[in-house]
């Protein structure tokens, strides 16, 4: 069995220092965690995107710390080799420092080895408090989906010189506060490159171009399990939704035609169960 990935391994994974690009994929339950782990992924994110991908919500702001702890625990039961990151949902770290640390600890007790949270300078207090409790923190800057109301929708961020500079400043502040890696979501590739070059900790991009230290995609997006139109940055490696729908339609057809279950798919007994259990029309019974 290969050695588990730790935050120390991830912290050191800078491409500029010769490291291979980091691969992060989301998963929300035990079977998907087993698939992600078997594929040799480095980091498994139990993302609050469970909201849109599994729980049927429009956005991530409906997800609670209870929901996240439930899904982190399901993923942890797969005992993956990859680093398990628990995503802090909206309003679980915008509260007092004590409550913030308690919420982060819930995800760790559920099986996460570290947590991720969204936001820049406004979240430094939360980040320091969580790191102060010995819980490693992954940052998340740029298009932060929990800010959908404040951003007025899901829009690419850091498109002006001022916005790009404040993203760079925020990334440096998160690194100084002790984040071991930073997700950059929905930012121009040139901005992601400058931020990546300016940091000692790795960046992991999603919709941030090819120059980051790693890439993350959502399980349902890369496997084609979702029904919404994918974002521009999503590359679909399979169309599992069609495969699954065809398989289920074939089952329905076999049930309706009487083809399923067959004799081989049925249990039999040689015991004499009495007349009530004789097959209809069996004259010898």
- Check: CB of residue 28 under 8 Å from CB of residue 219: yes
Catalytic residue among 128, 185, 246, 265: 185
Between 137 and 206, name the residue whose CB sits nearer to ligand KIV.
206
Catalytic-residue membership of 185? yes
Count residues contacting ligand KIV (CB under 6 A)? Answer: 11
Q: Considering only residues 190 through 219, tell me which ones interact with ligand KIV, judged by CB under 6 A.
A: 206, 216, 218
**Residues facing residue 165 across a β-bridge:** none
Kindly state the tokens that stand for 179. Answer: 């984040």
Q: Secondary structure of the chain: what % helix, strand, coil (to 5)?
A: 40, 15, 45
141 binds ligand KIV (CB under 6 A): no
Q: Considering only residues 155 through 184, tell me which ones interact with ligand KIV, judged by CB under 6 A.
A: 183
Q: Considering only residues 11 through 40, tell me which ones interact with ligand KIV, judged by CB under 6 A.
A: 26
Kindly state the tokens that stand for 198. Answer: 């300016």
Determine phi and psi for 115, rounding to 5 degrees. -125, 160
**Residues facing residue 283 across a β-bridge:** none
Q: Angle, to 10 degrees, between the axis of helix 124-132 and the axis of helix 161-177?
A: 20
Between 228 and 276, name the residue whose CB sits nearer to ligand KIV.
228
Between 82 and 183, name the residue whose CB sits nearer to ligand KIV.
183
In angstroms, the CA 188 to CA 158 distance is 7
Applying CB under 6 A, the span of 46-54, 76-84, 170-178, 248-256 interacting with ligand KIV comes to: 46-54
User: Which residues lie near ligand KIV (CB under 6 A)?
Assistant: 26, 45, 47-49, 87, 183, 185, 206, 216, 218
Q: Which residues are catalytic?
A: 185
């Amino acid at each position: 069995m290969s050695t588990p990935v730790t935050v120390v391994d991830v912290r050191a994974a800078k491409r500029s220092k010769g490291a291979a690009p980091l691969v992060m994929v989301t998963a929300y339950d035990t079977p998907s965690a087993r698939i992600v782990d078997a594929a040799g992924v480095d980091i498994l994110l139990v993302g609050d995107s469970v909201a849109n991908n599994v729980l049927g919500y429009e956005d991530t702001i409906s997800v609670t710390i209870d929901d996240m702890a439930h899904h982190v625990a399901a993923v942890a039961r797969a005992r993956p080799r990859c680093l398990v990151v628990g995503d802090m949902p909206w309003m679980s770290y915008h509260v007092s420092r004590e409550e913030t640390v308690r919420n982060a600890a819930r995800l760790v007790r559920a099986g996460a080895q570290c947590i991720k949270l969204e936001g820049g300078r406004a979240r430094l207090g939360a980040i320091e408090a969580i790191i102060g409790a010995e819980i490693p923190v992954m940052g998340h800057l740029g298009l932060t989906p929990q800010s959908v109301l404040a951003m007025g929708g899901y829009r690419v961020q850091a498109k002006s010189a001022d916005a790009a500079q404040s993203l760079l400043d925020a990334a440096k502040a998160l690194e100084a506060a002790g984040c071991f890696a930073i997700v950059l979501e929905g930012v121009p590739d040139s901005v992601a490159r400058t931020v990546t070059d300016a940091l000692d900790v790795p960046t992991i991009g999603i919709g941030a171009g090819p120059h980051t230290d790693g890439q993350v995609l959502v399980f349902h997006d890369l496997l084609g399990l979702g029904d919404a139109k994918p974002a521009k940055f999503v590359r679909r490696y399979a169309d599992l939704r069609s495969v699954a729908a065809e398989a289920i339609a074939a089952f329905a057809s076999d049930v309706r035609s009487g083809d399923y279950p067959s004799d081989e798919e049925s249990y039999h007994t040689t015991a004499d169960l009495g007349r009530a259990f004789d097959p209809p029309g069996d004259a010898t019974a």
